[in-house]
């Protein structure tokens, strides 16, 4: 089941011509990922402060299709495509005004904030992530 949310493309997210500045997209994407984790019951503040779990990006492959313009409402669709021992494979589609602007393949990894090494997803988080897999036979390609 995909997670969907909308974010405005603001003046500060754009270059002087009013076109989205791509690093701003990444900042917005991090906020969407944070909201996704909150939506499945694991707000980052609790992950970080209470459970000492980080979720850094280890791979991000973006494909830009059309420019986003200042004032666009960006429609984000985040899909879970694989849950590994410590990794999570996501796909993102970002649209505005009915047109795809960009897509991304994204891998994050659960890490211990005490040792700064990867760690297995705790069972409760793994169960929540797995329940959002796009297909019942999805698996992590490295497993």
- pLDDT digit string (tens) for 45-76? 999 999 999 999 999 999 999 999 999 999 99
Spatial distance between the Cα atoms of 12 and 15, rounded to a whole number of angstroms: 8
Is 35 catalytic? The answer is: no
Number of independent structural domains in the chain? 1
Q: 38 lies in a domain?
A: yes
Q: 116 lies in a domain?
A: yes
Give ∠ CA 117-130-56 in degrees, rounded to 5.
Answer: 30
Give ∠ CA 80-83-85 in degrees, rounded to 5.
Answer: 160
Q: 13 lies in a domain?
A: yes
Q: Give the global pTM.
A: 0.90
Residue 14 lies in domain:
3-132
Residue among 15, 49, 61, 114 flagged as catalytic? 15
Residue ranges in the chain whose pLDDT is less than 70: 136-143
């Amino acid at each position: 089941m995909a997670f969907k949310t909308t974010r405005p493309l603001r003046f500060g997210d754009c270059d002087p011509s009013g076109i989205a500045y791509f690093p701003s997209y990444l900042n917005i994407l991090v906020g969407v990922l944070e909201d996704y984790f909150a939506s499945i019951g694991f707000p980052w503040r609790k992950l970080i402060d209470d459970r000492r779990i980080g979720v850094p990006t280890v791979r991000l492959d973006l494909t830009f299709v059309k420019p986003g313009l200042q004032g666009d409402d960006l429609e984000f669709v985040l899909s879970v495509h694989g849950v590994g021992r410590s990794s999570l494979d996501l796909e993102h589609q970002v649209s505005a005004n009915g047109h795809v602007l960009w897509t991304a393949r994204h891998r994050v990894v659960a890490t211990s904030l005490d040792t700064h090494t990867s760690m297995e997803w705790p069972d409760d988080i793994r169960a929540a992530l797995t329940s959002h897999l796009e297909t019942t036979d999805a698996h992590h390609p490295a497993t």
